[in-house]
Amino acid sequence: MDGTEVAVRAVESVGPDAVALVLEAPATFEARPGQFVQVGATVGGEQVTRHYTLSSPDAEETFEVTVEVDPEGSLSPYLADLESGDTVAVAGPFGDAYYEGEDGVVVLAGGPGVGPAVGIGERALDENASATVVYEDDAPIHEERLTALADAGATVAITDDVSDENVLEVLADAQGQLFVYGFADFLDRATAALDAAGVDAGDAKTESFGPAPE
Ligand SMILES: Cc1cc2nc3c(=O)[nH]c(=O)nc-3n(C[C@H](O)[C@H](O)[C@H](O)COP(=O)(O)OP(=O)(O)OC[C@H]3O[C@@H](n4cnc5c(N)ncnc54)[C@H](O)[C@@H]3O)c2cc1C
């Protein structure tokens, strides 16, 4: 792949089957929370590349991606087993669904979409903007950072159903730029929830992680 070899600085568990991978930022790398990179490595003799979204509030010197591990997958288990000092190839950043200094953010995240949700939420609070995070997962991750966001003044709703009535109330009250991140089936559920809450999803910044794994 076209890309830069960068060092792994840390691999930390952030919940069941999920790691935060901290990577050295390539020279002249300018990325915003919500953008994604292509990560490549040689696994079992074959070059494998996959996309991962920034989960850190910035990308100065280092940046972080959050990887949900699919035990049947090619790259995610390999990434979870890396250690500080190993290297991977990185290309990017890519994507235009990122935080651009808006006064308020409302991030809907499904599964590994919680990565950009925490990164954007933290960056927004750093810039004195308001932040609402709605996160759907059967086995939530990043609980420490979500709790810290709530303690710092963000509205955080964690649910196993984005169309739950309590979530719809949060969405109806929330103010700010909409962001939606997750696999395609979550994007459909999030759009339906916004519709049910009477929120216009027309200008939402959305990134699909592709078809949901089986
Ligand atoms: C823009 C974008 C951003 C993303 N951001 C993130 C992120 O921040 N965090 C994150 O965790 N993920 C993210 N993803 C998803 C990520 O890129 C990978 O798809 C994911 O990590 C799985 O990769 P893998 O190599 O581990 O699994 P894969 O090898 O791709 O396999 C995934 C699943 O499909 C099954 N499978 C593979 N091939 C077949 C086949 N031929 N037939 C049937 N089943 C098959 C496997 O058994 C496995 O269960 C993003 C994707 C995109 C497109």
The pLDDT value recorded for residue 131 is 98
Topology of 4-94 in CATH? Elongation Factor Tu (Ef-tu); domain 3 (2.40.30)
Quick one: tokens of 202?
Answer: 């027309």
Task: Give this prediction's pTM.
Answer: 0.97
Ligand 1 in reach of 111 Cβ (< 6 A): no
State which amino acid sits at residue 200. D
The pLDDT value recorded for residue 214 is 77
The pLDDT value recorded for residue 106 is 98
The pLDDT value recorded for residue 9 is 98
In angstroms, what is the span from residue 61 Cα to ligand 1's centroid? 27
Ligand 1 in reach of 53 Cβ (< 6 A): yes
Domain boundaries defined on the chain: 4-94, 104-208
Please give the average pLDDT of every successive group of 10 residues along the chain, which has 214 residues.
Answer: 91 97 95 98 96 97 97 97 97 97 98 98 98 98 98 98 98 97 98 97 96 86
Q: Which residue shows structure tokens 């035990």?
A: 71
State which amino acid sits at residue 82. L
Query: Which tens digit of pLDDT belongs to each residue from 102-140?
Result: 999 999 999 999 999 999 999 999 999 999 999 999 999
Q: Please choose from 47, 65, 70, 98 the residue to mutate so as to test ligand 1's pocket, defined by most ligand atoms within 8 A of CB.
A: 70
Q: Please choose from 11, 42, 51, 75 the residue to mutate so as to test ligand 1's pocket, defined by most ligand atoms within 8 A of CB.
A: 51
Q: Please choose from 17, 36, 52, 54 the residue to mutate so as to test ligand 1's pocket, defined by most ligand atoms within 8 A of CB.
A: 52
**Architecture of 104-208 per CATH?**
3-Layer(aba) Sandwich (3.40)
The pLDDT value recorded for residue 108 is 98
Strand positions, DSSP E, 97-176: 104-110, 130-136, 155-159
Q: Which residue shows structure tokens 């559920």?
A: 189
Ligand 1 in reach of 210 Cβ (< 6 A): yes
| DSSP string computed for 24-37 | EPPTT----BTBEE
